[in-house]
Amino acid sequence: MVEDQKECIDVITQLSAIRSSVDRIIGVIVAEKLEKLP
């Protein structure tokens, strides 16, 4: 049971890191698009 909890926490940590990365990528893409506007 403790092992299952650790695995769950590890998965949540990884998903959180992925989400942060995706948010940063979205920010970069939006910033680049805004710079190209007339």
| pLDDT tens digits, 1-38 | 567 888 999 999 999 999 999 999 999 999 999 999 98
Residue-range definition of the domain harbouring residue 35: 1-38
Query: What is the number of domains present in the chain?
Result: 1
d(CA 31, CA 23) in angstroms, rounded, equals 12
Residue environment code for 4-36, b if the CB has 16+ CB neighbours within 10 A, otherwise e? eeeeeeeeeeeeeeeeeeeeeeeeeeeeeeeee
Residue 4 has a pLDDT of: 81
Residue 1 has a pLDDT of: 58
Q: Where are the alpha helices (DSSP H) in the chain?
A: 2-35
The model carries a pTM of 0.72
